[in-house]
Amino acid sequence: DRAVTDAMRHYGIVGCGICVVRRESIVYAKSFGCAELPTTPFLVTIATRCGSLAKPVTALAALILADQGKLDLDAEVLPILKELGVTPRPVDGSRMDERISRIKIRHLMDHTSGLPNATTYTAWRPGLNVAARQNLEHVATGADVVADALGNARLDSDPGAKYQYANANFVILARVIEARSNMPFNKFLTEVAMPRFGLAPDEVYVSQNQLAPDCPQRGKNEAAYYQTSKDRFVSFVPAEQAQGKIYGEAYRGYTTEASDGGGGIACTASALGKIVANLH
């Protein structure tokens, strides 16, 4: 308890959940601080975006489909995405890197697709505003992001040749899950995959894009987000590009639904603990 509270003071953390697992048992689960200032407590039932811990959760969802015989891990990605209506969308005279057609599901899951880490869209990264590049009239969806990435990315290495961490791999994998489950990724996650680990829908889910802490898109048990770093990221709302830096990353800056399988999942700390314990 003392180590956590000391760290919170040092780094300016408003609230957090902690879970410790020893093999098949959760041996410690506790929450600290506020879910929303000034007085809403951070309970063990509070969910927050878990960043790249979304990736192993997405991988488990894919493996469940494999167990069901609905997904071959050695299948090529592009034909599966085509089932979903997601095809490469080159822009400005670009042509798809032909090696992309050789990317397989397994390459996504072990980060050997060859895709660069900056392939997929998060609005605050300069030059990666997919909505603008693809002339969209809406905030880019996961399908938009994948279509743009596959049409315009240049691989850094041949598929299967080299390990290279890339968020794009798991954003694409979420679309593969949608194609083979015939469900939106969040629906498969909350109604099929996570119940296998004893989890309720409010313990693991895709965090929706939010404009402010009081936004109705905020999950009922989702914490408010406070940015303590010096950086301020650009708004994904086109009319606010000029003033976007006044907003923190969590609101108007980071389109979690467009990066769902790679980093847009919200969960409780205990939920991740339950998954680990169940795997053991």
Which tens digits make up the pLDDT trace of 97-139? Answer: 999 999 999 999 999 999 998 787 655 555 677 888 889 888 7
Q: Compute the average pLDDT of residues 209-223.
A: 90
Q: For residue 121, what pLDDT is reported?
A: 63
Q: For residue 213, what pLDDT is reported?
A: 84
What does the mean pLDDT of the chain come to?
Answer: 89
Position 29 pLDDT exceeds 60: yes
Tens of pLDDT, residues 150-186: 999 999 999 999 999 999 999 999 999 999 999 999 9
Q: Are strands 48-49 and 265-267 parallel, antiparallel or unpaired?
A: antiparallel
211 vs 104, more confident: 104
Structure-derived torsion over alpha carbons of residues 55, 56, 62, 63, reported in degrees to the nearest 10: 160
Tens of pLDDT, residues 72-98: 999 999 999 999 999 999 998 889 999
User: Residue 141 — pLDDT band, cuts 50, 70, 90?
Assistant: confident
Position 40 pLDDT exceeds 70: yes
- DSSP state at residue 193: I
Q: What's the CA gap between 184 and 196, in Å, rounded?
A: 18
Q: What's the CA gap between 97 and 151, in Å, rounded?
A: 8
Question: Edge-to-edge, what's the strand order for the sheet holding 204-206?
Answer: 48-49, 265-267, 204-206
Task: Using a pLDDT cut of 70, give the percent of the chain over it.
Answer: 87
Position 242 pLDDT exceeds 70: no
Q: What's the CA gap between 73 and 52, in Å, rounded?
A: 21
Report the residue count for the chain: 280
Task: Provide CB contacts within 8 A for 141, sequence distance 6+.
Answer: 257, 258
The model's pTM is 0.91
Measured between its terminal Cα atoms, the distance across the chain in Å is: 26
User: Residue 214 — pLDDT band, cuts 50, 70, 90?
Assistant: confident
Asked whether the beta carbons of 114 and 103 are under 8 A apart, the reply is yes
Exposed, middle or buried: residue 8 (CB in 10 Å: 0-12, 13-18, 19+)?
middle
Q: For residue 77, what pLDDT is reported?
A: 98
Which of 14, 6, 11, 7 is CA-nearest to residue 250? 14
Q: For residue 140, what pLDDT is reported?
A: 83
User: Residue 235 — pLDDT band, cuts 50, 70, 90?
Assistant: low
User: Residue 5 — pLDDT band, cuts 50, 70, 90?
Assistant: very high
- The mean-pLDDT minimum among 12-16, 62-66, 256-260 falls in 256-260
Q: What's the CA gap between 123 and 253, in Å, rounded?
A: 6
User: Residue 251 — pLDDT band, cuts 50, 70, 90?
Assistant: confident
Q: For residue 229, what pLDDT is reported?
A: 62
